[in-house]
Amino acid sequence: MARKTSWEWSRTAQTRKSMLQAAREVFGEHGFAEAGVSEVVARAGSSVGSLYHHFGGKTELFLALYEDHQAAHEQAAGASVARAKQEGVTDPVELLIAGARAYLDGAWERRDLVRLFIDGDGPPGFELIRRTRNREWVRQNAVLLGSGGDPLDRLTVTVLTSIIGEAAREVATSDSEEDAREVAEAAMTLIRRLDPLRIR
């Protein structure tokens, strides 16, 4: 089997990117159930065959859009936490807040996707994928906070993670960037009030 040249890899990546952008627009306008594959490929300037080659179908395209969105959240939050550590921040709650700020910035920047993924109009099995992803997010936050395994610790981390998630929903439905920032600041205040180290 012939190996792909860098030009072919670049073209493949561009095709995928174009399809994801088109899917973002079409799913955002119509929701998952009402979105048509033909409209996605028309906007992407591609073909139905190409879509099935790259993604397998409409469900897989939706899930790829979700995974890219989550990866962008994780990358931004991780980079923000790493920067805070480099600047000498050691308080676990302040590190969580650094990551949360980046996460909420992303929720505003990609508010169309946040609204798409919270409205309940996804393919079969999507809710399970979201719940699984959320459990992993709670686990990562528990590690960041140095949380123990007792029920109070577990519940506190779950509540803190839920605050960030609910704030993201509020940010995504805010009327302006100023309103979104106020929501984010309110979330930071609440997280500090629920400092797990103080609760213990």
Could you read off the pLDDT of 158-172 as tens digits, one per residue? 999 999 999 999 999
In the three-class reduction of DSSP (H, G, I as helix; E, B as strand; rest coil), residue 75 is classed as: helix
Confidence band, pLDDT 50/70/90 cuts, at residue 5: low
CA distance 33 to 14: 26
pTM to 2 decimals? 0.89
What is the pLDDT, as a whole number, of residue 196? 65
The encoded tokens of residue 112 equal 């169309």
Closest CA to 35 of 69, 65, 71, 67: 65
Which residue type sits at 67?
E
Give the model's confidence band at 2: pLDDT under 50 very low, under 70 low, under 90 confident, else very high: very low
Residue 34 pLDDT class (50, 70, 90 cuts): very high
Q: Is 194 exposed, middle or buried (0-12, 13-18, 19+ CB in 10 A)?
A: middle
Would you state the pLDDT for residue 197?
Answer: 59
116-125 own/partner pairs: CB under 8 Å, 24+ apart: 116/24, 116/27, 116/28, 116/31, 117/66, 117/69, 118/169, 118/172, 119/31, 121/31, 121/32, 121/33, 122/32, 122/62, 122/66, 123/32, 123/58, 123/59, 123/62, 123/63, 124/59
Model confidence pLDDT, tens digit, residues 123-161: 999 999 999 999 999 999 999 999 888 898 899 999 999
- DSSP structure string for 117-160: HHSS---TTHHHHHHHHHHHHHHHHHHHHT--SSHHHHHHHHHH
> What span, in angstroms and rounded, lies between the C-alpha atoms of 115 and 172?
7
In a 13 Å sphere around the CA of 78, the CA atoms on its Cβ side amount to: 9
Mean pLDDT of the chain: 91
* DSSP reduced 3-state for 162: helix
